[in-house]
Structure 1
């Protein structure tokens, strides 16, 4: 699948590309989990490259879709996720993991309502440190997020009480979006967007190329 959207008839706006064999493989995988993130492009026209990936039962990483947009905003994310919805349809126990602001996640939930929209643990951890200026939060949040049992979660959760405002902030985000014991659908051990970062590393030399550059094909072949 390949889609291009233009502005004022002939000005490039968005492009979306899906890899058919990866989509088919994902639809038959045992972990119905997609991980999404974006990275900056550095050529003359700049923009953002959005990538969706999944990991199979053998821990192999597969790219599913790529999209180039002007910037990360509501319009570009909605366009991107709408095309994903067309491709995958309604999947039981579907999970999408993002590193976005909760308002963006809530907006995307209306586009793919059958999916559970989870947040990257590492992204929330960084937000906590930036907001509350205390790295002591990290260890307790980490253990709370990773806990499989409610008893283990409560031990770390209570310790976060010593940091004023932290528990309220995490509740407002939604415990189900980051804490394993509250998850709506099983995200297994996929708590971060790290596998997208792996793909970003592979594609780092391509970031500076024009999207019409003839050399781009070697990164996607």
Structure 2
């Protein structure tokens, strides 16, 4: 294969010996050549000679943490804030990517660290954030993490802040706020109304008490009317609650800009800040 980057459909066109070649055949041939040249995904791990704590059995990479020194130094000049999030890998090789994104004073984003690991759970989030704390945050105090309400993230951050059992807290001055977009999605899942969801986003981003109270009251009225208009919902296992009942167990300082104690979130409302 003289040109490994050649696209499959071009290779189909290059075969002219009276054969009709499907897309799949040259694609499989290309993958076979790559395997012969570079090895398969699990096999290539055997070529890494300096794994610490090598265990017996098949050598399969479970976790890897990436953090570039240039970005770590740049983070010291960014806001004391990190947006953390995760997404699934859906290609040939499965897994999860967790990311930590910084934001500077000009609202520009900086990808300071990410990890590829087996799945998203309490242990993997703690593992990732432990390295973010050690390699990125270091001795910088009062850093705020913005994330969704994922139970595993909440547990990991609580363990950092308050310790666990006999283990003392290792990041006691960390702060935590919730992503408005994720919470609004949960709101929509419950109330099934995009206009109400947009109104909730306005409530979350409001910084004036009078307007905050007015929008809250309007949400209460509209969600109560929605429930009255569809009484069949009350007989289901997941009955629609009025807004005040739905939000009552969610601390305001976690999701509402108006109640953001000491302005820890710097008006960053989502885990994907808008670049201006």
Give the TM bin, normalised by the shorter chain: 0.7 to 0.9
Q: 1:27 to 1:37 in 2, by over 3 A?
A: same
In the aligned structure 2, how far is the partner of 1:52 from the partner of 1:76? 14
Residue 182 of structure 1 pairs with residue 259 of structure 2 = yes
Offset, 1:93: 3.5
Residue 35 of structure 1 pairs with residue 74 of structure 2 = no
- Larger radius of gyration between Structure 1 and Structure 2: 2
Residue 14 of structure 1 pairs with residue 72 of structure 2 = no
In the aligned structure 1, how far is the partner of 2:62 from the partner of 2:262? 35
Aligned mate of 2:190, from 131, 135, 142: 131
Q: 1:5 to 1:148 in 2, by over 3 A?
A: farther
Count of residue correspondences: 193
The answer for unaligned runs of 5 or more in structure 2 is 1-50, 161-170, 224-240
Aligned residue for 1:148, secondary structure, equals coil
Higher relative contact order (CA 8 A, sep 6+): 1
In the aligned structure 2, how far is the partner of 1:178 from the partner of 1:72? 23
| Equivalent residue, structure 2, for 1:193 | 271
| Equivalent residue, structure 1, for 2:201 | 142
Q: 1:44 to 1:155 in 2, by over 3 A?
A: same
Residue 74 of structure 1 pairs with residue 122 of structure 2 = yes
In the aligned structure 2, how far is the partner of 1:5 from the partner of 1:76? 19
In the aligned structure 2, how far is the partner of 1:115 from the partner of 1:82? 12
In the aligned structure 2, how far is the partner of 1:178 from the partner of 1:6? 42
Offset, 1:34: 0.7
Q: 1:5 to 1:173 in 2, by over 3 A?
A: farther
The answer for unaligned runs of 5 or more in structure 1 is 199-221
Offset, 1:6: 7.4
Q: 1:60 to 1:140 in 2, by over 3 A?
A: closer
Judge which range, 52-61 or 94-103, deviates more.
Answer: 94-103
Q: 1:5 to 1:147 in 2, by over 3 A?
A: farther
Q: How does 1:88-99 map to 2 (within 5 A)?
A: 88-99=137-148
Aligned residues: CA RMSD: 2.4
- Say which structure is richer in strand: 1
